[in-house]
Structure 1
Amino acid sequence: MNKIFQDKLFEDFRTKCGKVCLGRYVLVRKIGSGSFGDVYLSRDTKTDLPCAVKVERKSLKYEETLSKEHQMYLRLNNQVGFARVYDFGEEEGFRWISLELLGSSLYDLRKRCRNCLSLKTVLMLADQLLARIESFHQEGFIHRDIKPANMMMGLWGRSALRLYLADLGLATPYIDLATGVHIDFKPSGLAGTMTYCSINAMKHFSQSRRDDLESIGYNLICMAQGKLPWENHDNGSSPKAVRKILALKQSITAEELCKDLPKCFLDYMVYAKGLEFNEQPDYAMLRRLFRAEFRDAGFEYDFHYDWIARSRCDKIVKSKKYLGRRRS
């Protein structure tokens, strides 16, 4: 299809807010952008419930991105901490997928908390994030773009206290899904966000489970400290920025990176960076690291995050009326 015609179709789609499109959805407003498309707050006219509709332009370069993402969501549809998928379709010039509507991202929630979260909140998030990535890896995929903008809280009832892992646009299998054979370590294109991706990813090598874990470590340290040492140099994905960030990541030791943080953060980073390319991570052990610190600090696992007022949190926890009850 002619690219100019494609662009016009996609632009026409963006002007349809407030109108029924795709046969059943009313687009309310744009709420985000992913690697390959836009996300709209929408209303499903068949159920009269809100949802999120993600739309991508068809192109030869990214021909199967959203359809692959749809297949991953289908595999994860009974997993805690992943949005339910409702529908998928194609129109002339674009593809779309409708998903369970989630709440705020950790990127936005951190900004409410002046970019630095309390140790209690970080430890509760660490426990859930490791559970999410274990579930995802068990399905044979790696995420490759773990960052605060792709970690979201639920929206309804008790799900508002639950962490979700979102935006699977850059996810890819780390095993042959038919044979179960692990992929080979070889040169690859750069995928991920410079601030949080692993050192090997920045060196343009293929990623595996260890790279997701290293990325999670950077995220947790950033949440606890408010900033990573190389964030001032994160200027998009220019070659100069990539070289500068890579040099800093390689030169800063784990001890320096985790300075003033509990030892569990250092132990986590040492373990994640020490994994072999095709090695099975010990997720349970990693969760125990953070849970032990949580227990030793005398915290109560009450889901009272920094951004939630105590009275509201208690009300949600005690409520019996909430959506998504089967996904506790």
Structure 2
Amino acid sequence: MAEMIGRYEIRGEIGRGGMATVVKGYDPQFDREVAIKILPRELLHNQMFRARFEREARVVANLEHPAIVPVYDFGEQEGQPYLVMRLMSGGSLRDRMDERGKFTIAEIVEIFDGLAPALDYAHQQGIVHRDLKPGNILFDQHGRPYLSDFGIAKLAEAGATLTGDSTIGTPAYMSPEQVRGDPDLDGRSDLYSLGIILFEMLTGRLPFEANSPTGQMMKHLTAPVPDVRDIDESLSPDVQWVIERILAKSRDERFESAQALVDELRSILRSGHVTGAFAALSTKKPPASVRRTPASTPSSLPSSPMRGKFPVWGWVVPVVVLVGFGAFWGVQKAVSGRLETPVVPTANPAVVAAASPTVLSPPSVTPTSAPSPMPTATEMAVAVDSLASPTPVPLSPTPEPSPTPSGPVIGGADKLAFVSNNDIWVMNLDGSDAEQLTSTGGSKEQLQWSPDGQDVFYITGRCVLAVNVETKAERTIFCANWSDYLGDFEISPDGSQVVITLKDGFFILPYDLSAISQITTKQRLTAADKCISYTDAPAKEAAWSRDGKQLAVVTVATQSGRQVDLAQVFDVSRCGAPPIRVDSFPGERFTMNNYSRNPTLVDFAWNGNDLFALAVNTLNNFGEIYIYNATEKKAEIKRPVGRCCYRGFEWSPDGNYFMLAFQDSRYGQGAQLYYFIYGTIDAGGNFKPIPLPAGVLTNARENPQPALRPYKP
């Protein structure tokens, strides 16, 4: 090797890689030591390698980030190209891993926290590293981490490729899509590689090992993600959940960014769930009373794959007696519809179990745009517990005598309908009197109760059907066979109107089932007596405000040349006038994990006032809960039960309680239903799921689509 290259003095070799030799150099012009990457002479005539080397210079020179090793110079001497970079005197992560073996999560977070912004920045520029590994993570003299070696990075948006092997990288750290040679690699490929590094730092071992590079590459495609707890049993299920998500075979199921991964790890640190001391989910006890419909009896439950009202299956009614004005004031603020941190008592709150049958009189509900009434002290104290005594514990003041329903009335609701195994079930809110209404199978979407509470409406295909709760008889309400799809059939809170959503838009009509049944063609819909027509965009699910003057609709919009789901809120208070849009989101309001990759809202619900619950797909069409406050124009992620995943959101008739379905992605279980005071969503309480019959909600991919029946004394 020559003593000089360009103006740089060669002072010794640092290392050799697959494509270049790195030497220590001295720059006399600036009186500093540098690192020089030189293409080996035996590869000089290989145009593929030379092109890649030169591309690194162009790519890295355009990456200006404090945590990316900067390029100082690029040149060529006697046909030999070289790249001059900052000399990183702190060694590599590979060096540290070889010395240390395993790292704590706190140490990993500290390192990844410095790298994540740099990696996300590169991805935002359309650049995929494609060879992220411990040897390409370097440290300066102060121990700060840097990303290096973008020698095989490519500009993803340009799709530029060389004629050589497209599966370039290090086998131990390659993503499944990189192994397959997929031409459309994006930043999630690097996130997978970062996940391999995470696993190795936690355990001191690679997740996928084999006797040959080919065997190792195949394991990325076919082998399940190992459980870190098999190697280090002190690690918690939360840590394993993060590993499984970042190493998902499908890139759509991974974290959306490196920063999102770091945030999850930091959240585990703060929660204290680093070790295996984290308690497992409570087991479900089937209620004593379960009635199934004979197989010959047809039945079905409304639920819509595109509906924003997706079933909320996580039955949890926390029972807390709030004592003292301070505690009452804190909860009052929390349930007022704002996303404020609730104040909850910290000293030994009394826990009161409500048994079935029990009557808890709900506050009266009058359609209004004002915040919903505060729940009474009695309602706040109610909890549904599968182990509750059959004798209700009396509370003060004692409710006035009133007609007694078969089960407890909570949040103004007395019954729950949901879908399991493609059939509709109904039960009380404490899990008692569970009964299967239908046995027809097949898709059942967009469940809702008829205004009189006697029928459960649902969508199957392009038709709306109703099943009677008492007789289990089914009948067809309406079909839109001329349309590509039927998105929703949503009745207004006062039962006077219904909105129908189709590919053509949405249409508000009087709630007259006889007249609606006559609408069998697009021409008849056009000619029908309608209050409002909106045909600017395809419409999916819909939800009414409490006073019926506004309508929230998930529409299909075009942004940056592709179709995305966009929730829009319209003023529909004037019949005959065009609807007036008053809000739309997420759009520029807020960002959602995975939305940029898969901009489809898998769940959408509205409390009828100022709070919206949304989710995009993370796993099995379940995702994280985003609560959007329309007054503050802000959104927050909520995790009342666990990290992921949620669906089936539904607010109670009085607006004070919230229902959801939770599916713990760490265990591959079906969904559990929870029902609790919304104001306690951030309290970190030990919410308990509604007890379900054995064999119900066992399909991990099924959306339960819960629908609450308003109690009518």
Fold match (TM-score > 0.5): yes
Change (3 A) 1:42 1:282: closer
**CA gap 1:123/1:296 in 2 versus in 1, 3 angstroms:** same
**Measured at CA, do residues 247 and 275 of structure 1 come closer, stay the same or move farther in structure 2, by a change above 3 Å?**
closer
CA distance change for structure 1 residues 298 and 170 in 2, over 3 Å: closer, same or farther? same
Question: Corresponding residue for 1:190?
Answer: 167
Q: 1:298 to 1:150 in 2, by over 3 A?
A: same
Distance 1:98 1:34, change over 3 A: same
From 287, 293, 312, the counterpart of 2:262: 287
- How far apart, in 2, do the equivalents of 1:174 and 1:61 lie? 18
Tell me the CA shift for residue 108 of structure 1: 0.8
Report the 3-state secondary structure (helix = DSSP H, G, I; strand = E; otherwise coil) of the residue aligned with 1:43.
strand
Match of 1:189, SS? coil
CA distance in 2, matches of 1:250, 1:275: 12
Give the percent of matched residue pairs that are identical in Structure 1 and Structure 2.
Answer: 24
Instruction: Show the counterpart of 1:7.
Output: none
Counterparts of 1:313-324 in structure 2, within 5 Å, are none
1:275 paired with 2:251, answer yes
**1:74 aligned to which of 56, 61, 65:** 61
Instruction: Report Cα offsets for 1:207-246 as digits up to 9, x if no partner.
Output: 221211111101110111000243353x4xxxxx41x224
**Counterpart residue identity of residue 154, structure 2:** T
Does residue 96 (structure 1) correspond to residue 82 (structure 2)? The answer is yes
Matched, 1:253 2:253: no
Residue of structure 2 equivalent to 1:216: 194
Shift of 1:256: 2.5
Q: SS of the counterpart of 1:51?
A: strand
Based on CA coordinates, which of the two structures has the bigger radius of gyration? 2
Structure 1 residues 171 and 219, CA gap change in structure 2 (3 angstroms) = same
Q: Aligned letter for 2:227?
A: E
Counterpart of 1:64 in 2: which secondary structure? helix
- Taking a change above 3 Å as real, the CA distance of residues 133 and 269 of structure 1, as seen in their structure-2 partners, is farther
- Per the alignment, in what secondary structure is the counterpart of residue 227 of structure 2? helix
- Distance (Å, rounded) in 1 between the aligned partners of 2:217 and 2:10: 41
User: RMSD value over aligned CA atoms?
Assistant: 2.9
What is the identity, as a one-letter code, of the residue corresponding to 2:30?
A: T
Name the CA distance, whole Å, in 1 between partners of 2:257 and 2:171: 26
Does structure 2 retain, via aligned residues, the 8 Å contact 1:170–1:191? yes
Counterpart AA for 1:275: R
Q: Deviations over 1:174-201 (max 9, x none)?
A: 112xxxxx789xxx72111111111222
Structure 1 residue 268: deviation in Å? 5.1
Q: Is the 8 A contact 1:35 1:169 kept in 2?
A: no
Q: Deviation of residue 203 (structure 1)? A: 2.2
Counterpart contact for 1:255–1:266, Cα < 8 Å: no
Alignment of 1:136-147 (within 5 A): 136-147=122-133
Q: Which amino acid aligns with 1:225?
A: T
> Structure 1 residue 30: deviation in Å?
0.5
Letter aligned with residue 270 of structure 1: R
The structure with the largest strand share of the pair is 2
- 2:97 is aligned, of 103, 106, 110, to 110
Aligned to 1:135: 121
C-alpha distance in structure 1 between counterparts of 2:107 and 2:195, whole Å: 15
Displacement of 1:66: 2.5
Which deviates further from its counterpart, 39-48 or 262-271? 262-271
CA separation of 1:29 and 1:285: change in aligned 2, threshold 3 A: same
Query: Quick one: structure 1 residues 152 and 258, their matched pair in 2 at CA, closer, same or farther if it must change by over 3 Å?
Result: farther
Task: Kindly provide the amino acid, as one letter, of the partner of residue 49 in structure 2.
Answer: Y
Query: Partner letter of residue 175 of structure 2?
Result: S
Question: What do residues 50-75 of structure 1 show as CA deviations (whole Å, max 9, x unaligned)?
Answer: 11011114332223223211122221
CA distance in 1, matches of 2:186, 2:267: 27
Q: Which amino acid aligns with 1:173?
A: L
Q: Which AA in structure 2 matches 1:94?
A: Q
Asked whether the 8 Å contact 2:166–2:181 carries over to 1, the reply is yes
For these two proteins, the number of residue pairs brought into alignment is: 261
Q: 1:48 aligns with which of 20, 31, 36?
A: 31
TM-score by length of 1: 0.71
Task: State whether residues 142 and 172 of structure 1, in contact with CA within 8 Å, keep that contact through their aligned partners in structure 2.
Answer: yes
TM-score (norm. length: structure 2)? 0.34
Alpha-carbon distance in structure 2 between the residues aligned to 1:34 and 1:161: 23
C-alpha spacing 1:272/1:110, structure 2 compared with 1 (3 Å): closer
Structure number having the greater helix percentage: 1
Q: Is the 8 A contact 2:246 2:255 kept in 1?
A: no
Alignment correspondent of 1:174: 156
Per-residue CA shift, 1:84-116, capped at 9, x if unaligned?
211111122310111111130111111121x22
Match of 1:64 in 2: 51
1:7-22 matched pairs, under 5 angstroms: 14=1, 16=2, 19=3, 21-22=4-5
Shift in CA distance, 30/285, structure 1 to aligned 2, threshold 3 Å: same
Q: Against the structure 1 CA distance between its residues 152 and 66, is the aligned structure 2 distance closer, same or farther, given a 3 Å change threshold? A: same
Where does residue 296 of structure 1 map in the other structure?
A: 271
In 2, Cα distance between equivalents of 1:72 and 1:196: 22
Tell me, yes or no, if structure 1 residue 266 matches structure 2 residue 241: yes
Deviation, 1:251, is 4.5
Cα distance, 1:44–1:265 mapped onto 2, change above 3 Å: farther
Deviation at 1:204, TM superposition (A): 2.5
Using the alignment, how far apart are the partners of 1:203 and 1:298 within structure 2? Answer: 36
